[in-house]
Structure 1
Amino acid sequence: KPEKLLPKIRASSFRYEYGYHYGSGEMDKREEKVLEVKGSGPYEIALGQLEAGRIYELAFDSNLISKTGEKMENPYVQYTLNRLKRPTSDFPATLQVSAKAIEVRIGGEFFAKYNFSEHSQPVLWPVRGPGDVRMLRDYPLQEGTPGEARDHPHHRAIFIGHQGMNGANFWHNQFKNSGTVEHLKVLETRSGKDRAWIKTLNAWKNNEGKIIGADTRTLTFRGDEVARTIDLEISMHATQDDLVFEAFKDGFVGIRTHPHLRLTPNPKHGVREVFGKARNSEGLEGKGIWGKRADWVHYYGPIEGKEAGIAFFSHPTNPSSKGKKSWWHARDYGLISANPFAPEKIGGDGEY
């Protein structure tokens, strides 16, 4: 009977790491709730949630006995459900690939450009919200934008780096020990439906040009009439020796927002108009979010007269000290950085 079968079914799901390709390794495996079983054979089994791009497995209790008294010969039999077909999107994501960058559009409107050849590390810039709202600071990638401070030239739009990795500095680009992240290859691109996908291979080199590590990163772009999203997955690889992430506050994924999302002005450096507010998942607000651990940080307010915001989430499976939430280098001047490798104790208020 269905009601007796229900507790004897276990469901789980996962996805494949490399572009949803079979055989590329399972990621994000999770248990799924079995809500209901109907029928008398064949059976209809309802799960708590179904998500496109995931593989669903059903495992049955090895003690199950059929009406005729037969047991399951293999207690580990599993049924893999076919992947779901994504619904047609009114805002298809498309890519335009060139020798130096990849441009992303959502529903025909410019969203972002992934620049991988003109800087000491790949950066996402510019990035626009719905209605062509400029979301990031232009400096230092573009000079002369009114109302922008010329501070922290290493804060380049959306970027990835860390202050201390095997003695090299991949956060700052102006020091003697500053390293570079060299784009090696576009591994895969997909676009045209509800999302666009970019996967690249990159080499992390110290100031002497020695490769100390590498990464494969995947950027997935989506959007609709009210929001745009970027999902980043990055896998770091030790290529020769151990890859050591040293405990520094400056890292790992950074965003430098439009100056209107700053919390405080800086008239001395030309920043007179700011409208930003900030809060995190723990309920802290304003400058109080700096140096705290949280699931997410949200900077919001009008940008050039249009309501906007940047919500930055750190996935709960990201590495962090003793399993804690990510540490946030989130500043009043518009830097938002999620750092799983920050020191346990940091003095001061981040004014450096």
Structure 2
Amino acid sequence: MKIPALPSILLLALVSLAAPAAAADKGFSIEKTASGGAIVKYDGKLVTEYVVDQANKPYLFPVIPPHGTPMTRAYPMQKVDGEQWDHPHHRGICLGHEATNGFDTWAEKTTFEERPKDKKAQERLTKVGAQKHREFKELKAEGDKATIVSVTDHNNPQGKKEFEDTRTIVLQVIDGRLVIDYDVTFKATDAPVTFEDRKDAGFSIRVPTSMAVAPEKGKKSGSIVNSDGIKDVDAWGKNAKWCDYYGPVNGKVYGVAMLNHPKSFRYPTPWHVRDYGLFTANPFGTKNLDKSAADGTFILKAGESVTLRHRLIFHEGDTASAKLDEAFAAYEKLP
């Protein structure tokens, strides 16, 4: 494994994995970072960091469940031999949209800067905006639950705020598995917001390369299964109440399931889930994911809000062993 430099967050992870947790370290803890983000630990060991200063969007990275195996691709935060080094905007767990009021928070400037002779790429570069972390409304940890509530401004390429969102991220350990509830409420604060129908939009996690269905051309490794039993590349663009991605990581089979709450916008969501490891719930892409569907462009009126609700379950083993129908039945009962 080749790593050019270990950032402080990963040095902290190595220290925490090596040291036994003291009694005072039991359960979740959370603290602010010097850069304005937040670090979450469980039993004294790193679980994740809410990173706010390294890209044009906040994101969670790394994600390390109690089983101790990182469950997100390291790139572009690190370049690790054996990983795919594509799509630098696929950072850990994040959200974005290619075209809200005409600007892009799905991609980053680095996405296009490496293609100076590509006219389309250079045109898209001028449309890159930013999700700017404004403040934490709540940082709380107690026992088997930690909560992050943050406010984020969505700024156009000129730096002007167009709308905002409030994210409520609840991390829990349930039956030994890491569970992350990630709710985001978009609010049109001063004027309407147009969410165009786009393929590249929604709530995402980029899974480890070894877990991808096809980490290399012509090679099958991991698996995708949705709640209707549709598998692998056939699951792309299909609507389903949950979707699961599992495969080998460090010699064992692990997976991450994403559940879509019935009260979420446009439930059941279409899934922009790819064989190379992108895993996205995208309620904003209808015709772009299914040519027979109607255009899904959505206008959020001034003063109004819309909410996306998802649950991530990090499990050991395959879809069948994860018992996701039971997990969904519990999740849909949440108020």
Same fold (TM > 0.5): yes
Partner of 1:342: 285
Q: CA deviation at 1:224?
A: 4.9
Q: CA deviation at 1:194?
A: 2.0
Please state which structure has a larger fraction of its residues in helix. Answer: 2
Partner of 1:161: 96
Question: Which amino acid is 1:262 matched to?
Answer: A
Q: CA deviation at 1:305?
A: 1.1
Following the alignment from structure 2 to structure 1, what is the Cα–Cα distance between the partners of residues 283 and 216?
29
Following the alignment from structure 1 to structure 2, what is the Cα–Cα distance between the partners of residues 293 and 231?
20
Following the alignment from structure 1 to structure 2, what is the Cα–Cα distance between the partners of residues 345 and 179?
22
Question: Which amino acid is 1:167 matched to?
Answer: G
Q: CA deviation at 1:276?
A: 1.1
Following the alignment from structure 2 to structure 1, what is the Cα–Cα distance between the partners of residues 220 and 92?
18
TM-score scaled to structure 1, two decimals? 0.68
Q: CA deviation at 1:158?
A: 0.7
Question: Which amino acid is 2:287 matched to?
Answer: E
Q: CA deviation at 1:168?
A: 0.7
Secondary structure at 2:63 match in 1? strand
Q: Which moved more, 1:91-100 or 1:252-261?
A: 91-100
The unaligned stretches of length 5 or more in structure 2 are: 1-24, 110-124, 292-335
Distance 1:192 1:273, change over 3 A: farther
Question: Which amino acid is 1:161 matched to?
Answer: G
Identity of aligned residues (%): 33
Structure number, greater radius of gyration: 1
TM-score scaled to structure 2, two decimals? 0.71
User: Are residues 1:328 and 2:278 paired?
Assistant: no
Aligned ranges for residues 134-283 of structure 1 at < 5 Å? 134-143=70-79, 145-174=80-109, 175-224=125-174, 226-266=176-216, 275-283=221-229
Greater relative contact order (CA < 8 Å, ≥ 6 in sequence): 2
Secondary structure at 1:287 match in 2? helix
Distance 1:273 1:116, change over 3 A: farther
User: In the comparison of the two structures, how many residue pairs are matched?
Assistant: 251
Following the alignment from structure 1 to structure 2, what is the Cα–Cα distance between the partners of residues 345 and 182?
27
Distance 1:346 1:274, change over 3 A: closer
Deviations 1:60-103 (A, max 9, x none): xxxxxxxxxxxxxxxxxxxxxxxxxxxxxx96211122232211
User: Are residues 1:295 and 2:256 paired?
Assistant: no
CA contact (8 A) 1:130 1:225 kept: no
Q: CA deviation at 1:274?
A: 6.4
Q: CA deviation at 1:223?
A: 1.2
Following the alignment from structure 1 to structure 2, what is the Cα–Cα distance between the partners of residues 91 and 284?
40
Partner of 1:128: 64
Counterpart pick for 1:102 among 8, 33, 38: 38
Following the alignment from structure 1 to structure 2, what is the Cα–Cα distance between the partners of residues 182 and 205?
7
CA contact (8 A) 1:211 1:239 kept: no
Question: Which amino acid is 1:309 matched to?
Answer: G
Secondary structure at 2:189 match in 1? coil
Provide the alpha-carbon RMSD of the alignment: 1.9
Following the alignment from structure 1 to structure 2, what is the Cα–Cα distance between the partners of residues 284 and 188?
39
